[in-house]
Structure 1
Amino acid sequence: MVTGGNKGIGYAIVKELCAKFEGRVYLTARDEGRGRDTVNTLKKVLKERLGIGTEAGLGLSPSFHQLDIDDQKSIDAFAAYLKNTYGGLDVLVNNAAIAYKVFFITNLIHLFDLSLVCHVSSSCGHLSEIRGDEPAASQLRAKLAAETLTEEELCGLMEQFVAAAKDGTFRQAGWPASTYVVSKVGVSALTRIQQRALDSDPRPDLIVNSCHPGYVNTDMTSHKGPLSIEQGAVCPSHLALLPPDITEPKGAYLWHDKSVVDWTTKKPAPV
């Protein structure tokens, strides 16, 4: 399942998974018409360019389901569909550009078996991007990097940012002047929290990672990124297709070249 799959990096991830994943791949989008049009286009691409058949049941043809992760009814409807149809979900690529939906993935994990999660983060999601006024920024970084940080505490920090942004005190509180940065840092921190929780789960191969896909030529970057959407899909697809019984990466932050980056120290030059 790929969220926000009707264009950009999400579209390229769906295409890559259809070529390599031995199962059913779901492209999801908020707009049903656009989503279905994209699926029909992708089926033609897979058949004409890659030689992949589109017959039902092969597992190499993309399927569509409407999903708006800002709408709880939409989330519940898709979760119920997956549970009733397949009994669970193997892999989730959380690609949709969102402000901060901490319980979206948590709810899915609680609803049914979910083995692999890849959060599509950003170079902006590195902890070093929390750089408001010191020493408040240093204190925030320490809180976000704490091995004891919980989802509730992370939500509380995000709520503090929203409040500080509203009253104009975010800099003094240590936050940067970017809601995008804060949201992506939140996603990266959530990845670590979720993996710690799953480490104690008896089910095997429960893995959550996040990645920076690179500066990609998409609508979001105003088409200024030097990388193609196919290049942007490399690391997310790699994480979605991790083999069984691996020991790492788990709860990690990866760069677009699939290398594991220390989230708490200096990050590489963004590309």
Structure 2
Amino acid sequence: MFNYLKKKYTKFVAKRKFSDYGDATSVISIQGIGNINFTCWLNPLEQEKTISLSQVNFYRKFLKTGDFVIDIGAHIGDTTLPMALAVGAQGTVLAFDPNPHVFKILQKNADQNRHISNIIPLPYAIAVEEGEYSYASSEASFNNGGISGKNGKFGLGEKVKGVNLQNFIHTQYPEVSKISLIKVDAEGYDIQILKSISKLLDQYKPTLIFECFKDLSEQDRHDLFNYISQKGYKINKMDDFEEDAAITPIPQKQNMLDWKHFDIIAFAE
């Protein structure tokens, strides 16, 4: 009981008072890949995270060695690293996250696994327009957050840089012939980002992973479904980022109301 109350109080404080939490690194052995180094954030609000073969195999279903992948809202790299292991050191994963408290850990997870992966961490928000943006969170320790203006009352002391992904790819990576996957986790800003990369979707037809955020209205959910469908995608609910995760087709826009908050994977037809 004492430990439970202590953890509850620690989380209560973390939601209301900022602290610069440290990190811890462990060595994880993954069959067929070898040892990886994975650094976790010691923020008490952070969910326990690890890296597994099951997560890598989830991405291997639609990625191959050498692919080019984009992770928007990469956090500490817990989704980025399995992607990178799936495409190997010959592939590339651009990992965007503007939150400086998690970016320093994302950078570590990229740097310490360069022998088996190629993660390029980028401290930018993906935005409709280039510029400087205020970043806010519902938690004082910034375990979550974003630039949408609806993310909470706790703001970073400095603004973050926002880049338009289409412009960024065309100027910084003009040689890219294919983008195989774009994952978006932007705390309710996903639809704006997806609309801002319309030309990338038309040109590359990447697999898409994004959220139906809990606060989206019925109209927002319908708009999200209609936009992705009109781009030539089949939309599915996914239960997890594990090899055996259930993937359930979402045939109509009305089905976007069947769940409050869920992840979506969409495949180009």
TM-score in terms of structure 1 length: 0.44
Q: Which has the higher helix share?
A: 1
TM-score in terms of structure 2 length: 0.44
Q: Which has the higher strand share?
A: 2
Higher relative contact order (CA 8 A, sep 6+): 1
